[in-house]
Amino acid sequence: MKRILKWIGIIIGGIILLLLIIGLTIFMNGKSKLGGSFDVGHSLGTIAADSSQLVRGEYLAHIVSRCTGCHSDQFEGIILIDDAAFGVIPAPNLTSGKGGIGGHYQDADWERAIRHGVGMDDRVLVGMPSEFFTVYGDKDLKSLIAFLKTLPAVENELPQRELGPMAYLLIGTGMYEPPAITLDHEAVHDSAPEAAVDAAYGEYLVNLVACGECHGATLHGPEFTGPPPGPDLSPEGNLGEWTEDDFVLTLRSGTTPDGRILDSEIMPWPRMSRMSDLELKAIWRYLQHI
């Protein structure tokens, strides 16, 4: 009996040791992924803003890409995650006030952060949705950056990012990979499609709005279970029986054709309601081609 118990103990101990080794390997792999060097190979050049660019940039920041969703209403930044397992992950203060990056970032730094998910000193930005923003055309991106450079200074010092063990494990297993790691940094879109009611411009807008964050990379619904519930946006899914007018009216009113009221905390229809008919119809055209 003692011999049997001894062997059971050895087997259990071996399994625990093996799991610890696997976990440590994954953890270290996650750390190493964040230590890469990135050659983005593109430059917007000097950004000299005029009034029309600033108006366009403000529209992109507030309505289309909704930078305030993570960086707060005055772009002063907030702590997105503060958890023992996942760590502390802030969305930085974008202004030039105390604690902000606005006073340090050059034009090229803004481009690297937005389009490539790479911060200063080749730092991988965790949580920055550059997988969508990488399609930004030069003209629009210049307008966005020009606007961000004019933000009123707000003093808000946030703690430095400090990832926890679970975050490293997710990155190490590939369950979550920051965009900087997976993007083709040479495939930069230097021009955007012409603004028109067609699928090409709709696809461009779908990326700038980052619809894929909730509705999945292919817009056929999220690849995960649990909130936020992003339904299938293809003709095979929830929108299959809708018309273009139904789609536009839903985003204008927050009420679906069957009378369901959209939760504005999950589906940001109030800001999308401020998009033009051309933009909403272009998005609809693209959704019909998924």
Token pair in block for residue 165: 């063990």
Between CA 251 and CA 212 the distance in angstroms is 17
pTM of the prediction? 0.87
Task: Classify residue 42: in a domain, yes or no.
Answer: no
Between CA 169 and CA 23 the distance in angstroms is 8
Question: Which CATH number covers residue 263?
Answer: 1.10.760
Domain extent, residue 150, equals 51-182
pLDDT at res. 23: 55
Number of CB atoms found within 10 A of residue 2's CB? 6
Tens-of-pLDDT digits for all 290 residues of the chain? Answer: 555 545 555 666 556 655 556 555 655 655 566 776 777 766 787 787 789 899 999 999 999 999 999 999 999 999 999 998 889 999 999 999 999 999 899 999 999 999 999 988 788 999 899 999 999 999 999 999 999 999 999 999 999 999 888 888 888 887 888 998 888 888 887 789 999 999 999 999 999 999 998 898 888 887 665 555 678 898 888 788 899 999 999 999 999 999 999 999 889 999 999 999 999 999 999 999 98
Between CA 66 and CA 279 the distance in angstroms is 15
CA distances from 247 to 167, 179, 272 (A): 37, 30, 12
- The residues that bridge with 221 in the sheet, in sequence order, are none
Last residue of a domain, one of 182, 215, 236: 182
Residues 175 and 222 in one domain: no
pLDDT at res. 135: 94
Residues 141 and 99 in one domain: yes
Task: Classify residue 21: in a domain, yes or no.
Answer: no
Each residue's pLDDT tens digit, 105-116: 999 999 999 999
Task: Classify residue 103: in a domain, yes or no.
Answer: yes
pLDDT at res. 237: 86
